[in-house]
């Protein structure tokens, strides 16, 4: 199966003072296909930079990133991105937002309408197809973003703090919705989060980065049962794993 590989990747940026800031340094990482990988680490360690590199929005200064043995040299239809503040078109309806990627791929109107209606039902948006983003709650906007990202059936879903701005109840509901979709379609998911409980609940593998410049500190295989259900949050194994993750990250923020 296609595998994502970061091969000795480094990336730096220049700040407003003209100073070069090394964000990622000589990072090597293999991401398993058809699994959920969550990336954790202290602020500024390069988590979002990894997502942007994988999306093909920016490029490494050194090293290479491969998907299915091919060098990533720009965005591609096999990779979809969901951001913290979902970039919806404010002047387009929910249906138009969900169908935007399909239209770009020149999917015919009849099939596009069929897929859009399936996504509306799947994400609990039935009856809101003709609404505009300004008429939706934060949770519903994020559902629209997810529906649009998944409408094109990408093989890789890149997620950058997608639920962080939501209240706890909505966040947990969307986490469970994400798992339902994952079990049906089995995309490779790479999710950046600051939320240790979220990573513990969702991930098959947790990658913890060091403080800046970010490189791999620890890779943790999550042995919680699959399919993952909400009750696992109350298990002893869940609490022990969450504590272990926190202690590992805390070493980097002392």
Q: Name the nearest CA neighbour of 210 among 30, 56, 47.
A: 47
H-type helices in the chain, by residue range? 47-55, 94-104, 109-122, 138-151, 168-185, 196-202, 236-250
Distance CA 166, CA 62 (A): 36
- Average pLDDT of the residues in 108-132: 88
Q: Dihedrals φ, ψ of 221, to 5°?
A: -85, 125
**Is pLDDT larger for residue 254 or for residue 124?**
124
- Please give the pLDDT value at position 1: 58
Distance CA 121, CA 144 (A): 11
- Please give the pLDDT value at position 177: 85
CATH entry 3.20.20.120 includes domain 33-61+73-78+159-254: no
pLDDT band at 237 (very low <50, low <70, confident <90, very high): very high
- Please give the pLDDT value at position 212: 92
Number of Cβ within a 10 Å radius of residue 137: 11
- Please give the pLDDT value at position 44: 87
The answer to whether 194 touches 38, Cβ cutoff 8 Å, is no
Q: Name the nearest CA neighbour of 70 among 154, 152, 7, 149.
A: 7
Per 3-state DSSP, what percentage of the chain is helix, strand, and coil (rounded to 5)? 40, 25, 40
Sequence-separated (6 or more) residues with CB below 8 Å from residue 198: 38, 163, 171, 175
- Average pLDDT of the residues in 80-107: 85
- Average pLDDT of the residues in 68-94: 86
Distance CA 182, CA 69 (A): 23
The pLDDT of residue 147 is above 90: no
- Please give the pLDDT value at position 137: 85
- Please give the pLDDT value at position 86: 67
Alpha carbons within 13 A on the beta-carbon side of 88: 30
- Please give the pLDDT value at position 145: 87
The pLDDT of residue 63 is above 80: yes
* Residues forming CATH 3.40.50.300 domain(s) in the chain: 33-61+73-78+159-254
The pLDDT of residue 70 is above 80: yes
- Please give the pLDDT value at position 47: 93
Q: Which residue has the tokens 């999710």?
A: 191
pTM confidence score: 0.91
Cis before residue 101, ω within 30 degrees of 0?
Answer: no
Over pLDDT 90: what percentage of the chain? 57
pLDDT digits (tens, 9 = 90+) for 168-226: 888 888 898 889 889 988 999 999 999 999 999 999 999 999 999 999 999 999 999 99
């Amino acid at each position: 199966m296609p595998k994502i590989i970061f091969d000795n990747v480094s990336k730096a940026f220049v700040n407003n003072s003209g100073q070069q800031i090394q964000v990622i340094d000589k990072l090597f990482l293999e991401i398993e296909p058809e699994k959920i990988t969550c990336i954790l680490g202290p602020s500024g360690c390069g988590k979002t930079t990894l997502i942007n590199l994988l999306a093909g929005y920016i490029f490494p200064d050194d090293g290479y990133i491969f998907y299915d043995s091919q060098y990533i040299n720009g965005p591609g239809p096999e990779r979809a991105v969901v951001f913290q503040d979902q970039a919806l078109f404010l002047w387009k309806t929910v249906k138009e937002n969900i169908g935007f990627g399909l239209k770009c791929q020149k999917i015919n109107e009849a099939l596009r309408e069929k897929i859009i209606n399936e996504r509306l039902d799947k994400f609990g948006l039935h009856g809101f197809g003709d609404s505009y983003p300004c008429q939706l709650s934060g949770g519903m906007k994020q559902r629209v973003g997810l529906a649009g990202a998944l409408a094109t059936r990408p093989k890789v879903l890149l997620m950058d703090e997608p639920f962080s701005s939501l209240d706890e109840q909505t966040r947990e509901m969307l986490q469970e919705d994400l798992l339902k979709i994952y079990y049906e379609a089995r995309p490779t998911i790479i999710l950046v989060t600051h939320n240790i409980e979220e990573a513990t609940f969702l991930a098959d593998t947790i990658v913890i980065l060091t403080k800046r410049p970010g490189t791999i500190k620890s890779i943790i295989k999550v042995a919680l049962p699959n399919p993952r259900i909400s009750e696992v949050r109350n298990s002893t194994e869940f609490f022990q794993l969450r504590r272990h993750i926190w202690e590992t990250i805390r070493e980097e923020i002392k």
